[in-house]
Structure 1
Amino acid sequence: MIKNMNTHQTRGPLDHSIRDQVVEAATEHFGHFGYEKTTVSDLAKAIGFSKAYIYKFFDSKQAIGEVICKNRLGMVMDIVNAAIADAPTASEKLRRLFKSITEASGDLFFHDRKIYDIAAVASRDQWPSATAYEQRLHQLIQQIILEGRQTGEFERKTPLDEAAHAIFLVMKPYISPVQLQYNLETASSAAVLLSALILRSMAP
């Protein structure tokens, strides 16, 4: 269930340059001190804006974090889409999906550990950005399954939504910001072994 979908929206004048400036400064500040340890007052002082001025553009710290999280998760999906774009088969798309998303998640979340805090909070508290990311991934998995069924690579007996959700659950320990930190050592081998297991289970 999506929580707080309409409670953390940007507001105030549509001055994108100022909003972008706030987001850029917040990314740097959160990256240095961490998301949960930073208040809007801390942020305002650090970037030279008044707290009231920041609230003209964002109604809360979470609203700022949402933008940063959405940007980061968007980067992951861009990497995944590029990786699978020229895959010759649905099976290869699934392999590349698992491999690219585990690598991209690890790179983006753990090479900048403080920014990872935002993604972890977003996942834990089911922010709209995190929920939308999971929905996009579900849709991509479904598309790959459909393609594989159309080409005869995958079986057709299992309901589509059931198959897609099962694959998502297998992948989740290696893509969820909360869980991936405990699975980094096995992520690379898991991407190969688990995708192979999934493909064998879907063979016609």
Structure 2
Amino acid sequence: MTPTSTLPAPARGPADHDVRDQIVAAATEHFSRYGYGKTTVSDLAKAIGFSKAYIYKFFESKQAIGEMICANCLRQIEAEVSASVAEASLPPDKLRRIFKASTEATLRLLFQDRKLFEIAASAATERWQAVVDYEERTRQLLRDVLQEGRQSGDFERKTPLDETVLAIHLVMRPYLNPLLLQHSMDSTDQAPALLASLVLRSLSP
């Protein structure tokens, strides 16, 4: 099920980031305790101590709150992956680190709390903009590493770059998408390294 994605709902009312962050923090805790699917905006309002109308000044729906929580989580994953890649100097090592760090960070952040997994599942199923943007940034990171590898002579140059990026992203997808990752839990120890090695062999000049 992949309905057309839409842009994240803009925050309404005054641009008071402190209040918005307070709502998101409280919602994260509430979703973690009771689950995303079973929680309504009215439930959040009671838990936070705000009126429902006041919350709607900042977020137009429960999904808008969920999107921000999801975006925050994905940014953490990206930060961990970027830090790991920055520690490597050679393009092949950078590619290996993308596979390994992406899987490990996704496992830790999305599966340490099964209630919050509901948000990730909804985001992946409904193609929330936060997920679309995350996937595009992941492809851009792959593109940068591939370009560097082509310039250094580590990777072949005949295959169109965009085609290569898409193919590698598809290989990684079962370990990036939380809905798919939950069915691959028994292979997460070895799969990233094995898949990275397979991809690197295909990239040999």
TM normalised by structure 1 equals 0.97
Identity of aligned residues (%): 54
SS of 1:188's equivalent in the other structure is: coil
Do the aligned partners of 1:2 and 1:128 also contact (CA within 8 Å) in 2? no
**What SS is found at the alignment partner of 1:4?**
coil
For 1:112 and 1:79, the matched residues in 2 are separated by: 18
**Corresponding letter in the other structure for 1:72:** C
State the Cα deviation string for residues 74-101 of structure 1 (Å, max 9, x = none): 0000000000102120000000110000
Contact 1:31 1:115 in 2 (8 A): yes
Q: Which residue of 2 aligns with 1:122?
A: 123
SS of the residue corresponding to residue 14 of structure 2 reads coil
- CA contact 1:102–1:188 (8 Å) conserved in 2: no
For 1:189, give the aligned amino acid: Q
Question: What is the aligned partner in structure 1 of residue 178 from structure 2?
Answer: 177
Q: Distance in 2 between matches of 1:147 and 1:54?
A: 46
Instruction: Name the counterpart of 1:96.
Output: 97
Q: C-alpha distance in 2, partners of 1:62/1:19?
A: 14
Residue in 1 that maps onto 2:6: 4
Instruction: Find runs of 4+ consecutive structure 1 residues off by over 6 angstroms.
Output: none
Unaligned stretches of 5+ residues in structure 1: none
Q: Which residue of 1 aligns with 2:194?
A: 193
User: Matched residues in 1 for 2:4 and 2:96: separation?
Assistant: 29
- SS of match in other structure, 2:188: helix
- Partners of 1:23 and 1:129 lie apart in 2 by 15
Kept after mapping to 2: 8 A contact 1:40/1:51: yes
Q: Where do 5+ consecutive residues of structure 2 fail to align?
A: none
Aligned residue runs from structure 1 range 8-19, under 5 A:
8-19=9-20
Note the C-alpha offset of 1:188: 2.0
Pairwise CA distance, 1:2: 5.7
Aligned-residue RMSD, C-alpha: 1.1
Shift of residue 102 of structure 1? Answer: 0.2
